[in-house]
């Protein structure tokens, strides 16, 4: 795949980039290693100052960064501004909390003094996706840099200007040259980089095939990997739910980022007794969404990031219909305009044993299922290979307790949409990946958790 900015709203190629040569990659890896040897000895106070500087830059120039995001991958400008501001928040969170999270922990033993120390590993490779092109990177970079590691970024090939902007922000903030570098390279170069002895670990957010490939390559080198992969999150509405709030939140949770979010609500699982009312409200609110230019303030849904993604989504919808699904709204690519537009779509009557019921739909397509009781809802929610997030709606305490205990996911949200928060760990189980980002758990992923025993 070419490394290029292709505006998904118009299909126009705005800029292309020459991938780094092997010699240029070597220069950057060498700089990362030499920088780490010095950077690891900087104080928490110094790193904190630099990271707060990065937060200042993100806030002051949020519109500029948002315009880059919207131009490269099509998210609405308003959501892109919010993304830049959220990146500032994760920077401030770790600037404040990292020293506490990484403080020595004394443990009583047969030693005169024994404790756990947290020490940086070195150069960490981050392989990041296009859908949240700033947030995915900063939620890795902030804790990694505060822990004393250095980072190298292989970003998605369709968001090169985002990748370069992030590198510039970190450099402008005062971090040493080489503390965080962008590598404009294709996916075929990742394996050789993970093999390099100077690279100590890796993190990837992306597709199952990409995660499996990186994990396999890292496994051969016995190097740690954190993976955040796909999801087909359930959104369960019980008979006792606040139906109006559930519908409104469900629309937002499905359409976040033009529907291109791993933790979007993708499968609506509704109690039969309220299903007709929920369905009519969902259709009504989907109809009211404006699809159009993501730079315009009143646009709700922009284009999908690439034409390939749109074609794949369209094929999935057609396959679902062939397997018995019924289209309530949408269901056809919007060919009346340039760009990669696909309308808000709802599918129902989907056979639960059909192959398409096991897939992730990465776009503005909601799958609607009816169930007779909570047992059936939980069973259907868990009957997928993914386990990233789950949202469930109930005002019954016993139902809530069961949902929290029995839903197979890295996160369960009761009466709210699934979201990431710097204060809470984020990650999945099953084929949605392993390891955690954010909170104290996220910063502990890429440190040496060292036991110290002194007599």
**389 close to 235: Cβ distance less than 8 angstroms:** no
Asked if 332 is an active-site residue, the reply is no
Catalytic choice (228, 360, 437, 445): 228
Largest alpha-carbon pair distance within the chain? 76
Give yes or no for a contact between 453 and 437, defined as CB atoms under 8 angstroms apart.
Answer: no
Distance CA(285)–CA(344), nearest Å, equals: 10
Which one from 87, 262, 279, 359 is the annotated catalytic residue? 262
Q: Given the structure tokens 């040259």, which residue do they identify? A: 177
How far apart are alpha carbons 80 and 295 in whole angstroms? 10
Quick one: DSSP state of residue 20?
P
End-to-end CA distance of the chain, in Å?
Answer: 58
Measure CA 383 to chain center. Answer: 22
Contact 178, 60 (CB under 8 A): no
Three-state secondary structure call for residue 454: strand
Catalytic (active site) residue 91: no
Q: Which residues contact 157 (CB under 8 A, 6 or more apart)?
A: 1, 2, 3, 4, 186, 187
- Give the span between the Cα atoms of 324 and 433, in whole angstroms: 30
User: Which residues in 221-260 are b (16+ Cβ under 10 Å) and which e?
Assistant: eebebbbbbbbbbbbbbbbebebeebbebbbebbbbbbbb
Please choose, from the candidates 335, 204, 340, 318, the residue with its C-alpha nearest in 3D space to the C-alpha of residue 260.
340
Residues labelled catalytic = 228, 262
């Amino acid at each position: 795949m070419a490394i290029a900015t292709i505006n998904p709203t118009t299909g126009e190629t705005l800029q292309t980039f020459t991938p780094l040569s092997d010699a240029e990659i070597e220069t950057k890896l060498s700089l990362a290693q030499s920088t780490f040897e010095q950077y690891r000895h900087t104080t928490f106070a110094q790193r904190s100052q630099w990271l707060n500087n990065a937060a200042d830059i993100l806030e002051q120039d949020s519109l500029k960064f948002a315009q880059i995001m919207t131009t490269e991958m099509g998210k609405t400008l308003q959501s892109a501004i919010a993304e830049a501001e959220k990146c500032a928040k994760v920077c401030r969170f770790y600037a404040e909390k990292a020293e506490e999270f990484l403080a020595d922990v004394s443990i009583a033993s047969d030693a005169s003094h024994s404790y756990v120390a947290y020490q940086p590993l070195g150069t960490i490779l981050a392989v990041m996706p296009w859908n949240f092109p700033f947030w995915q990177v900063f939620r890795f970079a902030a804790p990694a840099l505060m822990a004393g590691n250095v980072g190298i970024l292989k970003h998605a090939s369709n968001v090169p200007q985002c990748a370069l902007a992030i590198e510039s922000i970190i450099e402008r903030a005062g971090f040493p040259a080489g503390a965080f570098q962008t590598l404009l390279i294709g996916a075929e170069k990742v394996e050789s980089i993970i093999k390099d002895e100077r690279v100590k670990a890796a993190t990837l957010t992306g597709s199952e095939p990409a995660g499996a490939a990186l994990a396999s390559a890292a496994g051969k080198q016995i190097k740690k990997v954190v993976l955040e992969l796909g999801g087909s999150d359930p959104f369960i509405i019980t008979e006792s739910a606040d139906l109006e709030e559930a519908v409104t939140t469900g629309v937002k949770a499905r359409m976040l980022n033009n529907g291109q979010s791993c933790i979007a609500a993708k499968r609506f699982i509704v109690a039969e007794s309220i299903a007709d009312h929920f369905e009519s409200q969902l259709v009504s609110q989907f109809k009211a969404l404006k699809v159009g230019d993501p730079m315009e303030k009143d646009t709700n849904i922009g284009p999908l990031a690439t034409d390939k993604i749109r074609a794949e989504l369209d094929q999935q919808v057609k396959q679902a219909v062939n397997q018995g699904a019924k289209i309530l709204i949408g269901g056809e690519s919007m060919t009346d305009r340039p760009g990669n537009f696909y309308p808000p779509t709802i599918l129902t009557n989907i056979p639960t044993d059909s192959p398409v019921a096991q897939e992730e739909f990465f776009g503005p397509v909601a799958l609607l299922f009816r169930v007779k009781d909570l047992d059936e809802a939980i069973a259907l929610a868990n009957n997928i290979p993914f386990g990233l997030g789950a949202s469930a709606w109930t005002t019954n305490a016993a139902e809530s307790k069961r949902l929290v205990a029995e839903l197979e996911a890295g996160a369960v949200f009761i009466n709210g949409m699934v979201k990431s928060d710097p204060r809470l760990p984020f990650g999945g189980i099953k084929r949605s990946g392993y390891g955690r980002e954010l909170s104290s758990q996220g910063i502990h992923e890429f440190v040496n958790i060292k036991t110290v025993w002194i007599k």
